[in-house]
């Protein structure tokens, strides 16, 4: 065993000095930061203002659309102000962060969006009270000293006039053909001193509201609002137009039928209160909290994290073995240690590298949250408390170790029978297809954690670490928990013996990779 530990120390030291090891430590936290920050940055800064032309043949609806677009913009201003306040307002002395164990499990974004949709007058009141200037004046005395100035979000949509030379009396396809150079991007609009693209053309026919309540959204004949645009992916402008026109149509129908529209709005703004309760919790504490929600879905992140960690470390072991075999370093090592000691030393040494990577990833991600200004540090602490209280960290550590030794044994045996990375890649293809199953099912498993699929996959040893990690928050039956763990340990021991028999012969073998029949002869052979 002493020789195996010496080999392990050598493997750890050699791999810890490589650039790939340090790149691996920095890669995952960096990718997570990019995944969170880049979409937000692109949404705020990279998306250009969408210029559109509106031709309202009714002469009544253009102001309605302008008002709707202004409301949408002011809603974004309110959301940005809320985020700005959460980040830069000082917490009152003695006040603690969110108590997620007692906070009901609600989707705050959905609640806010639903409330704003049902109560559009809230935005109107914000505008009437002075808007962002009044809100910032109220915040002034509570902001941190180093708080930056608030940056109001850019307009998403801007209404522009017809280009010179285009006849406003044209309609339908003729109008679209006249504007085709601008709609296709061949011509630019002159807006002040800038040259900008035209995003869309909207034409509202004069008799669009004439049919009243008889209008059907699937109706293909009769007057229709025409929305001409080449960008089919960005539908925000179209949705805003539909929302504004539908609301106006409803108001007119209410008046025609003699219905009090304000009473209808009040009725529509009401909803039935619904509380999620968990029968497993103690009496008086049955309500599902945000902490419960986090514990339920946190295993998905752990599964992905586990998959990346095992794959990266096991692949490192595979490449390391093939490199040493091709460079004849293996022959020098085997002159001092037995094949079994060499194999165990490699497994333990790379396992240490894997644990170092995992610990470094966790610490670096927590460090990023702590470094961020605002309440993120408090949230990081709360998240860690919630995850730790559910035993997920202990489960992750156990399944990482068992999963690593299982897959590392397989990869080490593969490396011992291959002479080049090209040969190993041919074997890695089927292996990768097998390993994709946990990723393909990781979102479904939490929805039915004790169902037939989850139970079946839990008893397949190569999937046990991932599936049981995904089920960890759902209190799987004790039989599954203990039984799969015992089976996984037994499989690890069997795989170590199985791969050890292949490793002792394959590590010194050259030439073509052995066939399956030959591998079985190696396993049965005593020499």
The pLDDT tens digits for 337-382 are 887 788 888 888 888 888 888 888 777 776 765 665 444 445 555 5
* SS3 (DSSP) at 203: strand
Q: Phi then psi for 5, rounded to 5 degrees? A: -65, -35
Q: What is the DSSP letter of 390?
A: T
- Check residue 113 and give its pLDDT: 56
| Side-chain half-sphere exposure of 165, counting CA atoms within 13 A | 5
pLDDT > 90? residue 485: yes
Partner residues linked to 194 by β-bridges: 191
pLDDT at 217: 46
Higher pLDDT, 403 or 287: 403
Give Dmax over CA atoms of the chain in angstroms. 98
Task: Give the pLDDT score at 111.
Answer: 56
**Res. 199 pLDDT band, cuts 50 70 90:** very high
What pLDDT, in 10s, does the model give residues 29-78? 787 777 767 776 777 776 788 999 999 888 888 899 998 888 888 888 88
Question: In whole angstroms, what is the distance from residue 421 CA to residue 423 CA?
Answer: 5
DSSP single-letter state for residue 471 = H
484-to-23, 102, 132, 298, 493 alpha-carbon distances in Å: 35, 34, 58, 21, 14
Q: Please provide the size of the chain in residues.
A: 527
Average pLDDT over residues 315-323: 79
Query: How many Å apart are CA 407 and CA 400, to the nearest integer?
Result: 10
Residue 213 has pLDDT above 60, yes or no: no
Q: Which residues have CB under 8 Å from 32's CB, separation 6+?
A: 365
User: Rounded to whole angstroms, how far apart are CA atoms 65 and 71?
Assistant: 10
pTM over the 0.85 mark:
no
- Apex 363 CA angle, 360 and 368, nearest 5: 120
pLDDT bracket for residue 218 (50, 70, 90): very low
Q: Is the pLDDT of residue 270 over 80?
A: no
Specify whether the CB–CB gap between 204 and 230 falls below 8 A. Answer: no
């Amino acid at each position: 065993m002493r020789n195996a530990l010496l080999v392990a120390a050598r493997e750890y030291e050699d791999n810890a000095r490589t650039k790939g090891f340090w790149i691996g430590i920095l890669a995952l936290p960096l990718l997570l930061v990019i995944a969170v920050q880049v979409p937000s940055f692109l949404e705020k800064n990279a998306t250009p203002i969408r210029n559109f032309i509106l031709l309202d043949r009714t002469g009544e609806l253009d102001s309605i659309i302008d008002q709707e677009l202004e409301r949408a913009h002011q809603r974004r201003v309110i959301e940005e102000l809320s985020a700005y306040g959460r980040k830069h307002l000082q917490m009152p002395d003695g006040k603690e962060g969110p108590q997620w164990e007692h906070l009901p499990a609600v989707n705050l974004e959905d609640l806010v969006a639903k409330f704003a949709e049902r109560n559009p007058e809230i935005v109107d009141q914000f505008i009437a009270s002075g808007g962002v200037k009044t809100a910032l004046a109220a915040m002034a005395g509570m902001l941190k000293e180093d708080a930056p100035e608030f940056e109001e979000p850019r307009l998403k949509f801007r209404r522009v006039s017809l280009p010179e030379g285009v006849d406003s009396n044209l309609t339908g396809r003729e109008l679209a053909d006249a504007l085709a150079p601008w709609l296709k991007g061949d011509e630019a609009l002159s807006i002040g001193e800038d040259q900008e693209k035209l995003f869309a053309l909207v034409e509202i026919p004069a008799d669009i509201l004439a049919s009243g309540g008889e209008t059907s959204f699937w109706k293909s004949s009769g007057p229709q609002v025409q929305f001409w645009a080449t960008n089919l992916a960005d539908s925000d402008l179209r949705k805003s137009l539909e929302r504004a026109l539908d609301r106006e149509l409803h108001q007119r129908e209410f008046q025609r039928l003699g219905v009090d529209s304000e009473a209808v709005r009040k009725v529509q703004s009401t909803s039935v209160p619904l509380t999620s309760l968990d029968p497993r919790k103690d009496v008086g504490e049955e309500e599902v909290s945000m902490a419960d929600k986090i514990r339920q879905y946190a295993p998905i992140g752990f599964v992905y994290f586990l998959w990346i960690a095992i794959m990266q470390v096991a692949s490192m072991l595979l490449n390391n073995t093939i490199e040493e075999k091709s460079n004849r370093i293996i022959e020098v090592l085997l002159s001092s240690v037995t094949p079994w000691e060499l194999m165990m030393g490699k497994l333990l040494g790379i396992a240490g590298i894997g644990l170092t990577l995992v610990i470094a990833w966790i610490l670096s991600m927590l460090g990023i949250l702590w470094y961020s200004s605002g309440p993120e540090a408090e949230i990081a602490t709360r998240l860690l408390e919630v995850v730790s209280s559910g035993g997920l960290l202990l489960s992750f550590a156990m399944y990482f170790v068992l999963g690593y030794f299982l897959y590392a044994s397989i990869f080490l045996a593969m490396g011992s029978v291959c002479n080049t990375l090209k040969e190993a890649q041919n074997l890695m293809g089927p292996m990768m297809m097998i390993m994709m199953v946990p990723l393909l099912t990781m979102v479904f498993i939490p929805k039915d954690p004790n169902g037939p699929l989850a139970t079946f996959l839990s008893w397949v040893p190569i999937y046990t670490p991932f599936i049981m990690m995904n089920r960890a928050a759902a209190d799987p039956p004790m039989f599954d928990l203990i039984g799969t763990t015992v089976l996984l340990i037994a499989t690890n021991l069997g795989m170590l013996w199985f791969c050890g028999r292949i490793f002792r012969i394959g590590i010194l073998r050259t030439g073509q990779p052995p066939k399956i029949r030959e591998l079985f002869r190696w396993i049965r052979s005593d020499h």
